[in-house]
């Protein structure tokens, strides 16, 4: 919404939320989320044509177009628990829109939703007795965290799904006009509503599948003399495959990949397609396996016991340049290390507040938080890189080696360090998908 307001001064954008604290924070310089470049864009429009409010009803009534971006977490109860999305927030929002509206409106699905949700929402919206007509569009968001502002400014594509009726096409064209203020027309693509909804789920499933594919190869590399970076480079130079998103890692995280694939799996299961459901389930299974494998490597390298050993985790966010830890592989790794009775020191430049919440309830004295990586590694038996923050590439590893217990171990869950140089300093180095370099 900040980008739309910045690029389209003629439109008035009001962001509403029931959470007054967050709405308050959006009006200060201490934004509720960390996203590089967001504050600058926000400042271009805030108070000019971008406003924040908790008065949901009056903002709905005044708006011609309503973007709905509410949470759709995975259901934790009842039918489809653990897989299906929990649509209660979406449905409540639809009912709030009906109640507060006095005229026709276009309702845009921004949240990622399973195929045919628009249909259900449309039925709720259009069952009103006020004679108001709601036109529902699907306009999935493809930005990635950490690069959100660039992704919004220069998107690969903008996708708008609408009904192919005259009203649907008119609504679609109104939304195309907004994006056309800064996105080239040929990159604004249109489709039917269901295709747009499915394209979002499928895009995330394809992206996650690439990571699980390279991670599966990384396991094989560790058992042979192959190096996953060399394999990934060779694969990626095939122009049909492409080189991006082929970095082997400790596993993918984030609020979307797992949730969206689970949605896809559920959709396949409920559509009578068990084989297809199992295929996509495999992408998640490999991701879980990768996290388990990582911890297994740590335990077995450190003489099959890490009880009471201090292990520093450098990075807790699910990727660099964000404070977001939702479904971060670091959560699973930290929990497994704690189960092994290690002393875990978590370090991250932006994610410590979230990490504290994620690991609440850990046994007293076994879990420490230290923003400064140099303090975190002091006296540690091992350090593990879990997020690819740039600052970790240039740490003074000679001093770190001096400050650590010996033998000192490094487990590079993101393959961002210079492994040979670390080995030369004296570390025992365990990358992902490459033979370890050890002095033992
Ligand atoms: C993802 C998609 O990339 C966006 O297109 C989509 O809009 C978004 O989900 C969403 O649905 O909201 P995001 O989760 O923010 O974006 O971040 P990604 O860059 O996709 O990274 C996801 C995870 O994969 C991270 O844990 C990252 O470290 C990991 N990853 C990524 C790898 O392990 N290897 C890679 O080569 C790339």
pLDDT at 114 over 90: no
CB atoms within 10 A of CB 350: 20
Of the chain, the percentage scoring pLDDT greater than 70 comes to 100
Residue nearest to atom 7 of ligand 1 (CA): 142
* Section 53-60 average pLDDT: 98
What dihedral do alpha carbons 107, 110, 113, 116 form, nearest 10°? 30
Which atom number of ligand 1 is nearest to the Cα of residue 112?
11
Instruction: Provide mean pLDDT across the span 21-50.
Output: 97
Q: What distance in angstroms lies between residue 254's CA and the mean position of ligand 1's atoms?
A: 7
Q: Give the chain's length.
A: 440
pLDDT at 74: 84
Mean pLDDT for the stretch of residues 265-289: 97
Element (H, E) at 188: strand 188-192
Predicted confidence at residue 84, as pLDDT, reads 82
Kindly state if the Cβ of 35 falls inside 6 Å of ligand 1: no
pLDDT tens column, 318-328? 999 999 999 99
> Taking the CA of residue 171 as centre, how many other CA atoms within 13 Å lie in the half-sphere pointing to its CB?
29
Calculate how far, in angstroms, residue 313's C-alpha sits from the geometric centre of ligand 1.
Answer: 21
Please say if the pLDDT value at position 42 is more than 90. Answer: yes
CB 288 within 8 A of CB 417: no
Given ligand 1 and candidates 74, 140, 144, which is best to mutate, with the most ligand atoms within 8 Å of its CB? 144
- In sequence order, the 6+-apart residues with CB closer than 8 A to the CB of 62 are 14
Please count the other Cβ atoms lying within 10 Å of the Cβ belonging to residue 29: 8
| Long-range Cβ contact pairs of 178-184 (< 8 A, separation 24 or more) | 178/4, 178/8, 178/11, 178/65, 181/7, 181/8, 182/7, 182/153, 183/155, 183/158
Mutate to test the pocket of ligand 1, among 155, 211, 323 (most ligand atoms within 8 A of CB): 211
pTM confidence score: 0.95
CA of 318 to the centre of ligand 1 (A): 9
Crossing angle between the packed helical segments 257-270 and 274-301, to the nearest 10 degrees: 150
244: burial class by Cβ within 10 Å (0-12, 13-18, 19+)? Answer: exposed
**How far does the centroid of ligand 1 lie from the alpha carbon of residue 54, in Å?**
31
Helices (H), 70-192: 88-100, 117-125, 148-153, 166-179
Which residue CA neighbors atom 2 of ligand 1 most closely? 144
Whether 279 lines ligand 1, by a CB cut-off of 6 Å, is: no
Q: How far is the CA of 141 from the centre of ligand 1 (A)?
A: 13
**pLDDT at residue 227, rounded to an integer:** 98
**Which residue's CA is the closest to the ligand 1 atom numbered 17?**
144
DSSP code per residue over 226-253: --HHHHHHHHHTSTTT-STT----S---
Q: Is the CB–ligand 1 distance for residue 253 below 6 Å?
A: yes
Q: What is the pLDDT of residues 62-88, one digit of tens each?
A: 999 999 998 888 889 998 888 888 888
Average pLDDT over residues 415-419: 98
Would you place residue 120 in the very low, low, confident or very high pLDDT band (cuts 50, 70, 90)?
A: confident
Say if residue 205's pLDDT is above 90.
yes
Residues contacting residue 257 through CB under 8 Å, at least 6 positions apart: 204, 207, 208, 211, 287, 327
Instruction: Compute, in angstroms, the gap from residue 36 CA to the centroid of ligand 1.
Output: 16
Cβ of 145 closer than 6 Å to ligand 1, yes or no, is yes
Q: Would the CB of 323 count as within 6 Å of ligand 1?
A: no
193 neighbors 23 (Cβ within 8 angstroms): no
Instruction: Please say whether the beta carbons of 214 and 229 come within 8 A.
Output: no
Instruction: Return the sign of the alpha-carbon dihedral for residues 252, 258, 264, 266.
Output: positive
Other C-beta atoms closer than 10 Å to the C-beta of 271 total 11
Contact 408, 381 (CB under 8 A): yes
How confident is the model over 356-381, as pLDDT tens digits? Answer: 999 999 988 999 999 999 999 999 99
Q: Is the CB of 247 under 6 A from ligand 1?
A: yes
For residues 382 and 309, the answer to whether their CB atoms sit within 8 Å is yes
Strands annotated E in 301-365: 310-314, 343-347
Residue 13's pLDDT is 98
Q: Is residue 270 over pLDDT 90?
A: yes
Per-residue pLDDT band at 245 (split at 50, 70, 90): very high
The pLDDT tens digits for 171-186 are 999 999 999 999 999 9
Which one has a higher pLDDT value, 169 or 122?
169
- Of all atoms in ligand 1, which is nearest to the CA of residue 249? 33
Question: What pLDDT digit, counting tens, does each position of 210-241 carry?
Answer: 999 999 999 999 999 999 999 999 999 999 99
pLDDT band, very low/low/confident/very high, at 117 (cuts 50, 70, 90): confident
Residue-level pLDDT at 83: 83
Say what the alpha-carbon torsion angle 299, 303, 305, 307 is, to the nearest 10 degrees.
-100
Q: Give the catalytic positions in this structure.
A: 256
State if residue 33 touches ligand 1 by the CB under 6 angstroms criterion: no
Place of tokens 């109860």: 77
Mean pLDDT on 266-282: 97
What separation in Å is there between the alpha carbon of 257 and the centre of ligand 1?
Answer: 7
Helix (H) or strand (E) segment spanning residue 424: helix 419-425
221 lines ligand 1 (CB under 6 A): no
Q: Give the pLDDT score at 395.
A: 98
142 lines ligand 1 (CB under 6 A): yes
Position in ligand 1 atom list of the atom nearest CA 141: 7
The pair phi, psi for residue 290, each rounded to 5°, is -65, -40
Average pLDDT, the chain: 96
């Amino acid at each position: 919404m900040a980008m739309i307001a910045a690029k389209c001064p003629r439109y008035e954008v009001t962001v509403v939320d029931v959470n007054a604290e967050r709405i308050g924070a959006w009006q200060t310089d201490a934004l509720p989320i960390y996203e590089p470049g967001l504050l600058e864009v926000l400042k271009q429009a805030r108070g000019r044509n971008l406003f924040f409010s908790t008065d949901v009803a009056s903002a709905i009534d005044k708006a011609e177009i309503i973007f709905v971006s509410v949470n759709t977490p995975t259901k934790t109860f009842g039918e489809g628990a653990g897989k299906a999305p929990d649509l209660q927030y979406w449905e409540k929002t639809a009912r709030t829109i009906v109640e507060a509206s006095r005229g026709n409106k276009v309702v845009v699905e921004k949240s990622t939703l399973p195929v045919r949700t628009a249909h259900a929402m449309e039925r709720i919206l259009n069952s009103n007795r006020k004679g108001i007509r709601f036109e529902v569009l699907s306009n999935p968001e493809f930005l990635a965290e950490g690069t959100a502002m660039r992704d919004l400014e220069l998107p690969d594509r903008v996708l708008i799904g609408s009904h192919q009726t005259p009203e649907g096409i008119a609504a679609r064209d109104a939304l195309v006009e907004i994006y056309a203020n800064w996105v080239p027309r040929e990159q604004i693509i249109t489709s039917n509503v269901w295709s747009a909804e499915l394209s979002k789920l499928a895009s995330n499933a394809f992206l996650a599948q690439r990571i699980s594919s390279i991670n599966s190869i990384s396991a094989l590399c560790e058992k042979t003399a192959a190096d996953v970076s060399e394999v990934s480079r060779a694969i990626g130079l095939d122009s049909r495959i492409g080189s991006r998103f082929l970095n082997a890692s400790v596993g993918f995280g984030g609020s979307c990949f797992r949730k969206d694939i689970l949605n896809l799996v559920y959709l396949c299961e409920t559509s009578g397609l068990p084989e297809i459901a199992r295929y996509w389930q495999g992408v998640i299974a490999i991701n879980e396996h990768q996290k388990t494998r990582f911890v297994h490597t740590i335990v077995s390298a450190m003489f099959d016991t890490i009880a009471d050993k201090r292990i520093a985790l450098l990075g807790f966010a699910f990727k660099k340049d964000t404070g977001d830890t939702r479904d971060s592989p670091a959560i699973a790794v930290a929990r497994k290390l704690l189960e092994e009775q290690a002393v875990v020191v978590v370090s991250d430049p932006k994610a410590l507040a979230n990490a504290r919440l994620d690991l609440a309830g850990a046994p007293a004295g076994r879990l420490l938080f230290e923003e400064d990586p140099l303090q975190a590694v002091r006296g540690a038996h091992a350090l593990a890189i879990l997020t690819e923050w740039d600052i970790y590439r240039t740490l003074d590893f000679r001093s770190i080696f001096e400050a650590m217990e010996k033998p000192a171990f490094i487990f590079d869950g993101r393959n961002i360090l210079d492994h040979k140089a670390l080995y030369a300093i004296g570390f025992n180095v365990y990358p992902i998908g490459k033979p370890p370099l050890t002095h033992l």
